[in-house]
Amino acid sequence: MPRLHVPAALAAGLDTVLPPNATRHVQVLRLQPGAELCLFDGSGGEWRAEVRAIGRREVVVRALAHASVERELARAVTLALGMPANERMDTLVEKATELGATAIQPLVCERSVLRVAGERAERKAAHWQAIVIAACEQCGRNRVPTVHAPLPLREWLESRGDEDSGQRLLLSLDADARPLAAARGDQRNVTFLSGPEGGLTEAEQAFARQRGFEPVSLGARVLRAETAPLAALAVIAALEAAA
Protein backbone atom coordinates (compact mmCIF):
# COMPACT_ATOMS: atom_id res chain seq x y z
CA MET A 1 0.00 0.00 0.00
CA PRO A 2 1.54 3.35 -1.00
CA ARG A 3 2.46 5.63 1.94
CA LEU A 4 2.05 9.37 1.37
CA HIS A 5 2.56 12.43 3.52
CA VAL A 6 -0.20 15.04 3.70
CA PRO A 7 0.76 18.40 5.26
CA ALA A 8 -2.79 19.15 6.46
CA ALA A 9 -4.39 17.59 9.54
CA LEU A 10 -6.37 14.43 8.72
CA ALA A 11 -9.66 13.25 10.21
CA ALA A 12 -11.99 10.33 9.59
CA GLY A 13 -14.27 10.99 6.65
CA LEU A 14 -12.38 14.11 5.61
CA ASP A 15 -11.60 14.58 1.92
CA THR A 16 -8.16 16.06 1.20
CA VAL A 17 -6.41 17.20 -1.96
CA LEU A 18 -2.94 15.65 -2.12
CA PRO A 19 0.09 17.94 -2.47
CA PRO A 20 1.85 18.01 -5.87
CA ASN A 21 4.52 15.38 -5.11
CA ALA A 22 1.99 12.93 -3.70
CA THR A 23 -0.33 13.60 -6.65
CA ARG A 24 2.42 12.71 -9.11
CA HIS A 25 3.14 9.54 -7.12
CA VAL A 26 -0.49 8.40 -7.42
CA GLN A 27 -0.53 9.21 -11.13
CA VAL A 28 2.72 7.34 -11.79
CA LEU A 29 1.32 4.29 -9.98
CA ARG A 30 -1.83 4.56 -12.16
CA LEU A 31 -4.07 4.19 -9.11
CA GLN A 32 -7.80 4.40 -9.65
CA PRO A 33 -10.66 5.71 -7.48
CA GLY A 34 -11.24 3.23 -4.65
CA ALA A 35 -7.56 2.28 -4.37
CA GLU A 36 -6.29 2.15 -0.78
CA LEU A 37 -3.50 4.35 0.56
CA CYS A 38 -1.68 4.90 3.82
CA LEU A 39 -1.52 8.59 4.78
CA PHE A 40 0.26 10.41 7.60
CA ASP A 41 0.23 14.09 8.51
CA GLY A 42 3.22 14.14 10.86
CA SER A 43 1.22 14.50 14.08
CA GLY A 44 1.53 10.79 14.92
CA GLY A 45 0.01 7.57 13.72
CA GLU A 46 -1.18 6.83 10.20
CA TRP A 47 -4.46 6.67 8.32
CA ARG A 48 -5.99 4.06 6.07
CA ALA A 49 -7.42 6.03 3.17
CA GLU A 50 -8.82 5.64 -0.31
CA VAL A 51 -8.60 7.56 -3.55
CA ARG A 52 -11.86 9.41 -4.21
CA ALA A 53 -11.14 11.23 -7.45
CA ILE A 54 -8.26 11.65 -9.88
CA GLY A 55 -7.96 14.65 -12.17
CA ARG A 56 -5.25 15.93 -14.44
CA ARG A 57 -3.84 18.22 -11.77
CA GLU A 58 -5.16 16.96 -8.46
CA VAL A 59 -6.04 13.83 -6.54
CA VAL A 60 -8.66 13.75 -3.80
CA VAL A 61 -8.35 11.17 -1.02
CA ARG A 62 -10.49 10.36 2.03
CA ALA A 63 -9.12 9.33 5.42
CA LEU A 64 -10.99 6.31 6.77
CA ALA A 65 -9.42 4.93 9.95
CA HIS A 66 -6.54 5.95 12.19
CA ALA A 67 -3.89 3.57 13.58
CA SER A 68 -1.70 4.72 16.48
CA VAL A 69 1.51 3.35 15.00
CA GLU A 70 4.84 4.89 16.01
CA ARG A 71 8.29 3.96 14.76
CA GLU A 72 10.37 6.58 16.56
CA LEU A 73 13.46 6.21 18.71
CA ALA A 74 12.89 6.46 22.44
CA ARG A 75 15.35 9.38 22.55
CA ALA A 76 14.96 12.54 20.48
CA VAL A 77 18.23 12.85 18.55
CA THR A 78 19.38 16.09 16.92
CA LEU A 79 22.26 15.99 14.46
CA ALA A 80 24.15 19.29 14.32
CA LEU A 81 26.72 18.95 11.58
CA GLY A 82 29.08 20.78 9.33
CA MET A 83 27.44 20.37 5.94
CA PRO A 84 29.30 18.09 3.52
CA ALA A 85 29.41 19.39 -0.03
CA ASN A 86 27.53 18.38 -3.17
CA GLU A 87 25.00 15.56 -3.03
CA ARG A 88 26.51 14.08 0.14
CA MET A 89 24.30 16.27 2.32
CA ASP A 90 21.21 15.01 0.49
CA THR A 91 22.23 11.42 1.22
CA LEU A 92 23.03 12.25 4.85
CA VAL A 93 19.60 13.82 5.39
CA GLU A 94 17.86 10.82 3.81
CA LYS A 95 19.75 8.23 5.84
CA ALA A 96 19.48 10.20 9.09
CA THR A 97 15.70 10.18 8.64
CA GLU A 98 15.69 6.42 8.09
CA LEU A 99 17.81 5.91 11.22
CA GLY A 100 15.47 7.98 13.39
CA ALA A 101 16.86 11.52 13.76
CA THR A 102 14.33 13.97 15.20
CA ALA A 103 16.00 17.13 13.88
CA ILE A 104 18.94 18.13 11.70
CA GLN A 105 20.81 21.41 12.15
CA PRO A 106 23.17 22.16 9.23
CA LEU A 107 26.16 24.26 10.27
CA VAL A 108 28.70 26.46 8.52
CA CYS A 109 32.10 25.91 10.14
CA GLU A 110 35.56 27.37 9.56
CA ARG A 111 36.57 24.50 7.29
CA SER A 112 33.20 24.12 5.56
CA VAL A 113 33.27 23.73 1.79
CA LEU A 114 29.53 24.35 1.47
CA ARG A 115 28.64 27.86 2.66
CA VAL A 116 25.11 29.19 2.40
CA ALA A 117 23.23 32.05 4.06
CA GLY A 118 20.07 34.10 3.67
CA GLU A 119 17.59 33.03 1.01
CA ARG A 120 19.90 30.34 -0.30
CA ALA A 121 20.03 28.78 3.15
CA GLU A 122 16.24 28.79 3.33
CA ARG A 123 16.00 27.15 -0.11
CA LYS A 124 18.49 24.47 0.93
CA ALA A 125 16.50 23.75 4.09
CA ALA A 126 13.28 23.42 2.06
CA HIS A 127 15.03 21.05 -0.37
CA TRP A 128 16.30 18.89 2.48
CA GLN A 129 12.88 18.93 4.15
CA ALA A 130 11.38 17.45 0.97
CA ILE A 131 14.00 14.69 1.11
CA VAL A 132 13.02 14.01 4.74
CA ILE A 133 9.36 13.63 3.79
CA ALA A 134 10.17 11.20 0.98
CA ALA A 135 12.35 9.18 3.37
CA CYS A 136 9.51 9.05 5.93
CA GLU A 137 7.16 7.75 3.25
CA GLN A 138 9.65 5.00 2.43
CA CYS A 139 10.78 3.93 5.91
CA GLY A 140 7.45 4.01 7.76
CA ARG A 141 7.97 6.96 10.09
CA ASN A 142 4.83 8.91 10.93
CA ARG A 143 6.54 11.90 12.54
CA VAL A 144 8.52 14.11 10.20
CA PRO A 145 11.95 15.34 11.36
CA THR A 146 12.75 19.04 11.05
CA VAL A 147 15.65 20.34 8.98
CA HIS A 148 16.58 23.80 10.23
CA ALA A 149 18.09 26.49 8.06
CA PRO A 150 21.92 26.45 8.10
CA LEU A 151 23.62 28.60 10.74
CA PRO A 152 27.22 29.52 11.55
CA LEU A 153 28.54 27.14 14.20
CA ARG A 154 29.36 29.81 16.79
CA GLU A 155 25.96 31.48 16.36
CA TRP A 156 24.21 28.16 16.89
CA LEU A 157 26.30 27.30 19.95
CA GLU A 158 25.66 30.71 21.49
CA SER A 159 21.92 30.30 20.96
CA ARG A 160 21.83 27.17 23.11
CA GLY A 161 21.22 28.29 26.65
CA ASP A 162 22.65 26.53 29.68
CA GLU A 163 19.11 25.63 30.68
CA ASP A 164 18.57 23.52 27.53
CA SER A 165 17.89 19.97 28.64
CA GLY A 166 19.49 16.93 27.13
CA GLN A 167 22.86 15.38 26.54
CA ARG A 168 25.39 17.19 24.34
CA LEU A 169 27.97 15.03 22.60
CA LEU A 170 30.86 16.15 20.39
CA LEU A 171 32.16 13.58 17.91
CA SER A 172 35.91 13.81 18.40
CA LEU A 173 39.24 12.06 17.78
CA ASP A 174 40.82 13.64 20.87
CA ALA A 175 42.57 11.31 23.30
CA ASP A 176 40.17 12.15 26.13
CA ALA A 177 37.06 11.28 24.13
CA ARG A 178 35.05 8.48 25.72
CA PRO A 179 33.58 5.68 23.59
CA LEU A 180 30.08 6.70 22.55
CA ALA A 181 28.47 3.57 24.01
CA ALA A 182 30.06 4.31 27.40
CA ALA A 183 28.82 7.91 27.34
CA ARG A 184 25.19 6.99 26.87
CA GLY A 185 23.01 8.88 29.34
CA ASP A 186 19.41 8.60 30.44
CA GLN A 187 18.27 11.98 29.08
CA ARG A 188 15.36 11.95 26.68
CA ASN A 189 17.14 14.32 24.29
CA VAL A 190 20.62 14.06 22.82
CA THR A 191 22.45 16.36 20.40
CA PHE A 192 25.45 15.23 18.36
CA LEU A 193 27.84 17.86 17.05
CA SER A 194 29.96 16.76 14.10
CA GLY A 195 32.39 18.67 11.88
CA PRO A 196 32.60 19.21 8.11
CA GLU A 197 35.31 17.96 5.74
CA GLY A 198 38.56 18.48 7.60
CA GLY A 199 36.81 18.44 10.96
CA LEU A 200 36.26 21.19 13.51
CA THR A 201 39.18 23.45 14.35
CA GLU A 202 40.72 23.33 17.82
CA ALA A 203 39.06 26.65 18.63
CA GLU A 204 35.65 25.36 17.52
CA GLN A 205 36.03 22.21 19.61
CA ALA A 206 37.12 24.24 22.62
CA PHE A 207 34.09 26.52 22.33
CA ALA A 208 31.79 23.53 21.96
CA ARG A 209 33.22 22.07 25.17
CA GLN A 210 32.60 25.39 26.91
CA ARG A 211 28.98 25.10 25.81
CA GLY A 212 28.62 21.72 27.50
CA PHE A 213 29.51 19.28 24.72
CA GLU A 214 31.30 16.14 25.91
CA PRO A 215 33.81 14.61 23.44
CA VAL A 216 32.94 11.05 22.40
CA SER A 217 34.65 8.65 20.03
CA LEU A 218 33.41 6.30 17.33
CA GLY A 219 36.73 4.44 17.19
CA ALA A 220 40.23 4.91 15.86
CA ARG A 221 39.28 5.36 12.20
CA VAL A 222 38.70 8.79 10.70
CA LEU A 223 35.18 8.88 9.29
CA ARG A 224 33.98 11.20 6.55
CA ALA A 225 31.82 14.18 7.40
CA GLU A 226 28.74 12.43 6.05
CA THR A 227 29.55 9.13 7.78
CA ALA A 228 30.29 10.14 11.37
CA PRO A 229 26.86 11.53 12.37
CA LEU A 230 25.11 8.56 10.76
CA ALA A 231 27.37 6.15 12.63
CA ALA A 232 26.56 7.89 15.93
CA LEU A 233 22.85 7.73 15.19
CA ALA A 234 23.14 4.05 14.28
CA VAL A 235 24.79 3.34 17.66
CA ILE A 236 21.89 4.96 19.49
CA ALA A 237 19.36 3.01 17.42
CA ALA A 238 21.23 -0.28 17.95
CA LEU A 239 21.50 0.23 21.71
CA GLU A 240 17.78 0.91 21.92
CA ALA A 241 16.96 -2.15 19.84
CA ALA A 242 19.11 -4.32 22.11
CA ALA A 243 17.65 -2.94 25.35
Average pLDDT over residues 159-177: 86
For the stretch 97-146, pLDDT in tens is 999 999 999 999 999 888 888 888 899 999 999 999 999 999 999 999 99
- Write the burial class of residue 220 (CB in 10 Å: 0-12 exposed, 13-18 middle, 19+ buried): exposed
- CA–CA distance, 191 with 178 (Å, rounded to integer): 16
For residue 150, the model assigns a pLDDT of: 94
Per-residue confidence band for 163, with pLDDT thresholds at 50, 70 and 90:
low
Q: What letter represents residue 34's amino acid?
A: G
- CA–CA distance, 238 with 108 (Å, rounded to integer): 29
For the stretch 178-222, pLDDT in tens is 999 887 777 889 999 999 999 999 999 999 999 999 999 999 899
- CA–CA distance, 243 with 238 (Å, rounded to integer): 9
Tell me if 90 sits within 8 A of 131, measured CB to CB: yes
For residue 164, the model assigns a pLDDT of: 66
For residue 162, the model assigns a pLDDT of: 67
The one-character DSSP state at 102 is: S
For residue 203, the model assigns a pLDDT of: 97
Per-residue confidence band for 158, with pLDDT thresholds at 50, 70 and 90:
very high
For residue 240, the model assigns a pLDDT of: 85
The whole-chain average pLDDT of the chain stands at 93
Contacts of 141 (CB under 8 A, 6+ apart): 71, 72, 97, 100, 135
Other C-beta atoms lying within 10 Å of the C-beta of residue 138: 12
**Helical segments of the chain, H only:** 20-28, 88-99, 118-139, 153-159, 202-210, 228-242
For the stretch 12-37, pLDDT in tens is 999 999 999 899 999 999 999 999 99
For the stretch 63-78, pLDDT in tens is 999 999 999 999 999 9
pTM for the full predicted model: 0.92
Between strands 46-54 and 59-67, the pairing is antiparallel
Q: At what angle do helices 118-139 and 88-99 cross, to 10 degrees?
A: 40
Strand, helix or coil for residue 9: coil
